Structure 1
């Protein structure tokens, strides 16, 4: 393998940048997110009998829904600081919550401030092209008859099943209050974790087959990259368990007693997701051990072959060395069959050695 290509395998700059992106999190640093040119605002207003959805251009157009008697879901795609602050100020959202919404890499958590239930968590996607886990921070606010959700990227969304349910009159979302809508949003995000885990599971299985069949210098880099994605996944879903548990222990009047059983179901799902993540992490450690074992096994096979070849050539070396001595009188030195006898001995002794090795099961 050329030296340049070898060092590209060992020192891949993209892998180094990925490591910094995975591990570098500093909540005290001011956000440096590039604001989009415009925010996409979609409002769903519904009750048991009707449902309407409108797309708004200005955040001020959402103000009228504060006093609506119907359930209102305001979904904001694209975080612009001015728009978020205006919307939150009108709906009496605490400045600390606004800071969490605009933060980058915020740890999943829930808060109850000013009579509102707020949570922030990560929505996960698996990028098949780059084989990495991508995260999007989602903030959700539950108020009296309204839910406000903030997303960073409009192109990535796991809420389409909810939009389909809102179009059905008999759906549970339409028959229940804002707290059930709040539960549904969190449940869809948690369910999406399983899609990412399925992709990671497939990658682990394929990598295990590659290690068993043909482990090479690139295999260890693949293991390390997959371990980094498991770190991203584990770090994103582990705090969600505390988040849902906080909602269950909350005494907020916004969450009805009949909705608590649905949050318990989400809690069960996130516990299972954490258990699977732990299993995958253990599998990654086992894959690394399997790779090292295969490398050592191949090295042992090479050393065994070299040892056998050395042993088989030893008789010829000894015989050739003896007859190469500078003595005047050597056995068979002037015999016309001396050369053939020495060659026959050089061949016969290794054959006997091979038989002994085979009998002992050394190869």
Structure 2
């Protein structure tokens, strides 16, 4: 039977999650990624001003083209990525071909670009899977133009924008009173705020694991440490570049950004900095937890070695006495004594008991 078959029966692959490691680290920017195109693409349009809002849902993205010159602010949210549809929408709204490549990309690093009068943001929405205990990510692309915002999502079944949709339906909300850049800020703010929800879930797992490691270290605890460290890698990989994204927006002198909105982007920047610091704290905790695990294992090994050393010392007198009286000499004192056996056994018992008393008095155990 080969080694992989043994591993299958032992369950070590599942325990240490090597497939997750490959999923996290297997990225090659020189290879063109293959994206499975969505079977269903739906577009949701929120066309609004201070007094009026229209909500539409379309199965064909070309139906969104009529809102290009509506003289109101339009948020076009496209659920599902399909190359033909993305190219059609971007061509109609004047989005550069380089940005189209970024929208169609997979596992792209969060970034911000400003190309030909369009401000482009690409980042990931994060979710925590309770069943698998993993951090899942969904790439979202946000295009900010003159009086419009277009967002491209991979998964149509979930996002973090429901509070934003509720605010859009309230005529007195700030988002209805401001320009399109405020809508872009609100989307980024919700994405960043959701990072804290994911980190809260990870924090709970780390807390439970810390108690488990302190109570007793075993291979399962080590596997959980390894698993959580991988999820922290995913977390940090998504949080760290968002700092640069927001910093680029704050420094930008684009006409699409109102000076009044800059302070709001600065607030989101403060949030992402807090999230980054918290992720670093989690990382330090995991490193310390791994050290605690190693120290516990070494301490347990030392305890075992100490017990074995004490047992060896206690058996030494019996071994010496038995060895002396087992020598092949003709004349050995008390060899033929009627009480020689009892004397030898008594010494074998008394000496170890005296040694135990000495060890105990010196605090060796």
Q: CA deviation at 1:261?
A: 0.6
Q: CA deviation at 1:14?
A: 7.7
Is 2:60 the partner of 1:58?
yes
* Alignment counterpart, residue 200 of structure 2, candidates 174, 198, 201: 198
Unaligned runs of 5+ in 1: none
| Per-residue deviation, residues 42-77 of structure 1 (Å, max 9, x unmatched) | 111122223221111110100011001222111011
| TM-score normalised per structure 2 | 0.94
Aligned residue number for residue 126 of structure 2? 124
Work out the CA distance in 1 between the residues paired with 2:28 and 2:341. Answer: 81
Aligned residue number for residue 362 of structure 1? 364
Aligned residue number for residue 25 of structure 1? 27
Task: Say whether the 8 Å CA contact 2:222–2:293 is kept in structure 1.
Answer: yes
Specify the SS of the correspondent of 1:191.
helix
Is 2:72 the partner of 1:79?
no
Work out the CA distance in 2 between the residues paired with 1:296 and 1:143. Answer: 60
* Alignment counterpart, residue 106 of structure 1, candidates 105, 108, 111: 108
Aligned residue number for residue 184 of structure 1? 186
Choose 206-215 or 108-117, whichever is displaced more: 206-215
Work out the CA distance in 1 between the residues paired with 2:343 and 2:84. Answer: 99
Aligned residue number for residue 162 of structure 1? 164
Unaligned runs of 5+ in 2: none
Change (3 A) 1:272 1:195: same
Work out the CA distance in 1 between the residues paired with 2:147 and 2:155. Answer: 25
Work out the CA distance in 2 between the residues paired with 1:9 and 1:329. Answer: 63
Q: CA deviation at 1:91?
A: 0.4
Aligned residue number for residue 35 of structure 1? 37
Paired residues in the alignment total 361
Work out the CA distance in 2 between the residues paired with 1:8 and 1:254. Answer: 59
Specify the SS of the correspondent of 1:288.
helix
Work out the CA distance in 2 between the residues paired with 1:129 and 1:137. Answer: 21
Aligned residue number for residue 276 of structure 1? 278
Q: How does 1:314-333 map to 2 (within 5 A)?
A: 314-333=316-335
Is 2:139 the partner of 1:137?
yes
Task: Say whether the 8 Å CA contact 1:39–1:78 is kept in structure 2.
Answer: yes
* Alignment counterpart, residue 287 of structure 2, candidates 285, 288, 298: 285
| Per-residue deviation, residues 322-362 of structure 1 (Å, max 9, x unmatched) | 22233344333333333222222111111111111111111
Aligned residue number for residue 212 of structure 1? 214
Runs (4+) off by over 6 Å: none
Work out the CA distance in 2 between the residues paired with 1:103 and 1:72. Answer: 25
Aligned residue number for residue 243 of structure 1? 245
Change (3 A) 1:195 1:305: same
CA-based RMSD of the aligned residues comes to 1.8
Work out the CA distance in 2 between the residues paired with 1:220 and 1:269. Answer: 32
Work out the CA distance in 2 between the residues paired with 1:258 and 1:270. Answer: 20
Work out the CA distance in 1 between the residues paired with 2:255 and 2:56. Answer: 29
Work out the CA distance in 1 between the residues paired with 2:15 and 2:352. Answer: 52
Task: Say whether the 8 Å CA contact 1:126–1:196 is kept in structure 2.
Answer: yes
Specify the SS of the correspondent of 2:17.
helix
Specify the SS of the correspondent of 2:114.
strand
Task: Say whether the 8 Å CA contact 1:27–1:103 is kept in structure 2.
Answer: no
Task: Say whether the 8 Å CA contact 2:15–2:223 is kept in structure 1.
Answer: no
Aligned residue number for residue 150 of structure 2? 148
Change (3 A) 1:327 1:13: closer
| Per-residue deviation, residues 255-284 of structure 1 (Å, max 9, x unmatched) | 111111100000001111111111111222
Work out the CA distance in 2 between the residues paired with 1:337 and 1:5. Answer: 60
Change (3 A) 1:7 1:310: farther
Work out the CA distance in 2 between the residues paired with 1:193 and 1:58. Answer: 32
Aligned residue number for residue 97 of structure 2? 95
Change (3 A) 1:297 1:94: same
Q: CA deviation at 1:218?
A: 2.6
